[in-house]
Chain A
Amino acid sequence: MDKNVKVFVIALAVLVVLCPLGLLAVGTAYGEWGPDDIKDMIGYVPTGLEQLSSLYSAPLADYDFPGGHDTAPAAAPGYYVSAIIGVVLCAGIIYVAGKAIARNI
Chain B
Amino acid sequence: MHIPDGYLGPITFVIMYLIMIPIWLYAGHKVQKSLKSRQVPYLALAAAFSFVIMMFNVPIPGGSTGHAVGSALVAIILGPWAAVVTTSVALLIQCLLFGDGGVTAFGANCFNMGVVIPLIAYYAYKLISGNTLITSNLRIAAAAIAGYLGISVAAGVAGFEMGLQPILEHTAAGVPLYMPYGLGVTVPAMLFEHMVFFSFVEAIVTALAFAYIARNSPEIIFDYETEQGKKEKAARKAAPA
- Seen from chain A, the residues whose Cβ lies within 8 Å of a Cβ on chain B are 2, 4-5, 7-9, 12, 15-16, 18-19, 21-32, 35, 38, 42, 46-53, 55-63, 79, 82-83, 85-95, 98-99, 101-105
Contact = CB atoms under 8 A, between A and B. Distances in A.
Most buried by A among B48, B53, B59: B48
Interface of B: 1-7, 9, 32, 35-53, 55-59, 63-67, 85-86, 89-90, 93-100, 102-104, 158-159, 162, 169, 171, 175-180, 186, 189-190, 193, 216-217, 220
B100 A87 contact: no
Contacts, number: 208
Which applies to chain A's interface (DSSP): helix, strand, loop or mixed? Answer: helix
Contacts of A95: 40-41, 43-44
A59 B65 CA distance: 23
Q: Tell which of B51, B66, B96, B189 has the most Cβ of chain A within 10 Å.
A: B51
Contacts of A56: 5, 99, 102-103
A95 B36 CA distance: 12
Contact of B45 (A5, A46, A55): A5
Given A12-B49, A57-B99, A101-B32, A2 B41 contact: yes
A52 B162 contact: no
A94 B180 contact: no
22 contacts: A2-B38, A8-B42, A8-B45, A12-B52, A23-B57, A25-B57, A25-B58, A28-B64, A30-B193, A31-B7, A31-B190, A32-B3, A38-B180, A48-B169, A51-B6, A55-B103, A58-B96, A59-B97, A83-B55, A86-B55, A98-B40, A103-B36
B56 A102 contact: no
Contacts of A103: 35-37
Given A27-B64, A55-B103, A98-B40, A46 B180 contact: yes
Nearest to A4: B217
A93 B46 CA distance: 12
B98 A58 contact: yes
B97 A89 contact: yes
A60 B58 contact: no
Contacts of A28: 63-65
Contacts of A82: 55, 97-98
